[in-house]
Structure 1
C-alpha cells in the first residue's frame, strides 16, 4: 500500500497548492484556463480510447454500463453527496461544481494502464516504481486541475486511495482477470468517459458521466466471452 499512499498524498498536496493558487487568479484567466484544461482532457480521452482493440466490447460496455448506472442513478447520488460538501466547503460566488471536479479528477487519475498495472505490480511484487512515476504526474495534474475546478479535485484523493488500494490488496485474486487485452479495453471505455467530461466542461454537452461509470468494468466480463 506504500505506493498508493504516496500517490494519494501527491494528489492531496498538488490539489492544496492548486486551491491556494486559485485565490490569486482573476476570473477571466481562470475561465480560459478551465477551457484549456477541457481541451487537454479531451486529448487525454482520445489518446486513451485508441488503446482499445475491439469496438464491439466498447459498444457493449457503454450500453450495459450506462443501463446499470442509470438504474442505480449514480449521478444523482453523487450530486446529492456533492451538494452536502458544497454547503461546507464552497464559498459564496465561487464557480465550479464539487461533483464536476471530483468526477473529472477521479477518472483522469484512475483510468489507464499505469494505474492498473502499477497497482498490480505493487500488490504482487512490491514494485512501486510505476506508482511513484504516476504520483509525480498526478502531483502536477492535481495542482493544475484544482486551480480551475476547485475542491472536488482534492476530494478525489479518496477515490484514488480506495480504487488503487483495492487493486493492490486484491492483486493476487484479480490479476488473472486483468490481462493486457482487458486493461486496454478498460482504458478505452474509461477514456470515452473522459472525452465526455471534457465536452461537459466546455458546455457542449451535459452528460451524466457517473451513470456511465460501470462501463469501465464491463470489459472484465465481456473479454471472457469475446
Structure 2
C-alpha cells in the first residue's frame, strides 16, 4: 500500500499535537525559551540540508524564480487567509499565537525536507515505509513541542503533509517510466538544498530575527525541477 507510510506520518502528527495540548499551560517564559531552542534546532537542520547542494546556481535560480512566482500569486497571503479561516472555526490554546501561526509554521517544517520526498518515493517505488515512519516519529515529537508554544493550529498541518507526501507516493508508482535514476538522485539533492534554506528561514522567523515571507518562496520547491533539468542540458 503506497500510502501506508504517509498515513502513519499523519497519525503521529495528530498524536503529538494532542499530547502537546497537555503542556500548553506552562509559564510564558518557558515557552519563549523552548521556542528559541526550536528555532536554533530548525536552523541547524536547514543548514545541514542546504549544504547538500552540488550546484549552487540551481539553488539560487530556484529561489529567485520561486520568489517571483510567490509574490505574483501572493501565496503568503493565501496561506494566512486559509489559516485565519481555520482559526475562525476553532479557538487557539495559546493567546500569543493564532491558529494560522501554528498551521503555517508546522506545515512548512513537516513538508519541506528530504525525508518527505525520499520517504514518499520509497513508499511508492519499493513499498518501503521505514523513512516515512521514522519521519512520523520525529514529526510527532516536533508537533508536541510546537503545540506547547503555537497552540492547537499545529494539528491542521496534517492536511498538507498527507496531500503532499501522498501525491508523491502515488506518482512514484509510475515515476520509473518517466525519470532516470541519475536525474532523480541529483534532483533530490538540489530539492533538499532549496528546502533546507527555506527551513533556515523558518528558524530565523521563529527567533524573530527576520520576517521572511516563506510562503512566497514555496514555488522554488517546484521550479527547482525545471531549472535542474535545463542545468543538466548545459
Normalized against structure 1, the TM-score is what? Answer: 0.93
1:26-45 equivalent positions in 2, closer than 5 A:
26-45=27-46
CA distance in 1, matches of 2:92, 2:147: 15
Structure 2 residue aligned with 1:190:
195
Gaps of 5+ in 2: none
Structure 2 residue aligned with 1:172:
173
Structure 1 residue aligned with 2:136:
135
RMSD value, Cα: 1.7
Deviation at 1:87, TM superposition (A): 2.5
CA distance in 1, matches of 2:114, 2:205: 24
CA distance in 1, matches of 2:95, 2:82: 18
Structure 1 residue aligned with 2:89:
88
Bigger drift between 68-77 and 173-182 goes to 173-182
- Contact 1:62–1:215 (CA under 8 A) maintained in structure 2: yes
Structure 1 residue aligned with 2:19:
17
- Contact 1:14–1:143 (CA under 8 A) maintained in structure 2: yes
Deviation at 1:78, TM superposition (A): 1.1
Is residue 203 of structure 2 the alignment partner of residue 202 of structure 1? no
Shift >4 Å, 4+ stretches: none
**Pairs aligned (count):** 225
Gaps of 5+ in 1: none
State the Cα deviation string for residues 154-205 of structure 1 (Å, max 9, x = none): 1111111000000111113445276111111111111111111111122111
Normalized against structure 2, the TM-score is what? Answer: 0.90
